Amino acid sequence: MYKFVIVLLSAVLFAFVLARPAEEQSGVATSPAVTTTTTPATILKQIDVTNPDGSYNSSYETSNGIKVENAGYLKKILVPKQESTDGQVIEEHEELVLVQTGLYSYSDPEGNIITLHYVADENGFQPQGDHLPVPPV
């Protein structure tokens, strides 16, 4: 019985130690000089349309300059005949894939507008933007 009580009290003590706030655990108190400069943004414009065929179109724009646009639709693709790793043959067949296109933009800390356009389909995520590195040719 005493062993059970000791184990139970040890578990409770361990739980109290883990429940301490993070700044006490690290031994470093948060500096009152650290402040954030973010201001709450409001949504200025928002559109959400979902069609019966599964396609959709959504966008929003906020008061702090963030802009997001996204559209998607289902596309039939032909998957060629292939062999799985265990030797099973998977015959040629059609599949539906979701194709998404869109963009988002925001202002960086220097005031430059960063815009990223993208397509996501059976070939993966394909981003484009002037701020992205260009692979060597």
d(CA 54, CA 72): 8
pLDDT for residue 20 = 63
Cβ(63)–Cβ(41) below 8 Å: yes
d(CA 116, CA 129): 5
Closest CA to 130 of 118, 114, 119: 114
Ramachandran sector of residue 49 (left: φ over 0; alpha: ψ -120 to 50; beta: rest): beta
Instruction: List alpha helices for the chain, DSSP H.
Output: 2-18, 22-26
pLDDT for residue 21 = 63
Domain extent at residue 66? 40-128
User: Which range in 7-11, 20-24, 90-94, 123-127 is most confidently predicted, on average pLDDT?
Assistant: 123-127
d(CA 52, CA 93): 25
Give 86-105 pLDDT, tens digit per residue.
Answer: 888 888 888 889 999 999 99
Residue 121 belongs to a domain: yes
Residue 18 belongs to a domain: no
- Say which residue, 80 or 47, is predicted with more confidence: 47
Residue 92 belongs to a domain: yes
Give 106-115 pLDDT, tens digit per residue.
Answer: 998 888 999 9
Residue 58 belongs to a domain: yes
Mean pLDDT of the chain: 81
Q: How many domains does the chain have?
A: 1
pLDDT for residue 74 = 93
Query: Of 6-10, 95-99, 123-127, which range is least confident?
Result: 6-10
Position 22 pLDDT exceeds 90? no
pLDDT for residue 109 = 87
88-125 core/surface letters (b: 16 or more CB in 10 A; e: else): eeeeeeeeeeebeebbbbeeeeeeeeeeeeeebeeeee
pLDDT for residue 10 = 65
Residue 66 belongs to a domain: yes
pTM: 0.61
